[in-house]
Chains A and B, each alone.
Chain A
Amino acid sequence: DIQMTQSPSTLSASIGDRVTITCRASQSVSDWVAWYQQKPGTAPKLLIYKASTLQRGVSSRFSGSGSGTDFTLTISSLQSDDFGTYHCQQYRRNPTFGQGTKVEVK
């Protein structure tokens, strides 16, 4: 299986901060990476697919980049609705997820 390693595990940030979350694959996954946001007690929400394509209806303050093994999710200016846990997923082979990054209030 392809392992996805996210960092950091927890991130403390303030409203307006620029936030960056990284995900590293154990082998190349080309650009077959998605990013999700999850709030407590709810299902994940797709933000980004194919590493950098914004899902319809998702705010443009979210962006994704990377290819091969290293990927980044960036929130340009953190808003109150952005707190939660973020997951990366590769789908080059059978899907695997990162362990998640919790974004909390500083």
Chain B
Amino acid sequence: QVHLVESGGGVVLPGGSLRLSCAASGFIFKTYGMYWVRQAPGKGLEWVTVIRFDGNNKDYADSVKGRFTVSRDNSNNTLFLQMNSLRVEDTAVYYCARVRSGTSDGADIWGPGTMVIVSS
């Protein structure tokens, strides 16, 4: 069974940091690009970042550029999102998702998401 499971969400003060993890299983993780996508309460989906299968190419939405960093550990089938200088508007459910092909495609496998709340 192909699975993605996020962890690391929680409540954090504005300006704080949080590191999300995404554990992959059931497929050859090191051969797939990966997205982080977020969804604020009651809102639509927002793409956050993409990382190439080998970790050598990354891109970010303007809203998080310079604050968030994506990385991966292919030996442990894990994706990460380091989030610094968090803002109230970063409050959302964060999903990791497998890119169907390459680094720009539909996302065919999604985790259940982890909630991040930025609040004072």
Contact = CB atoms under 8 A, between A and B. Distances in A.
Interface of A: 1, 32, 34, 36, 42-46, 48-50, 55, 87, 89, 91-92, 94-100
A49 B44 contact: no
A56 B48 CA distance: 26
A42 B113 CA distance: 8
Interface string B99-117: 0100011111011110000
A50 B105 CA distance: 8
Contacts of B105: 34, 49, 91
B108 A55 contact: yes
B45 to A, nearest CB: 4
A44 B110 contact: yes
Interface SS of chain A? loop
Categorize the interface residue count of chain B: 20 to 34
A49 B100 contact: yes
Contacts of B106: 34, 36, 46, 48-50, 55, 89, 91
B16 to A, nearest CB: 26
Given A43-B97, A97-B46, 15 more contacts: A32-B104, A34-B105, A43-B95, A46-B100, A46-B108, A49-B100, A49-B106, A49-B108, A55-B106, A89-B45, A91-B106, A94-B47, A94-B59, A95-B35, A96-B47
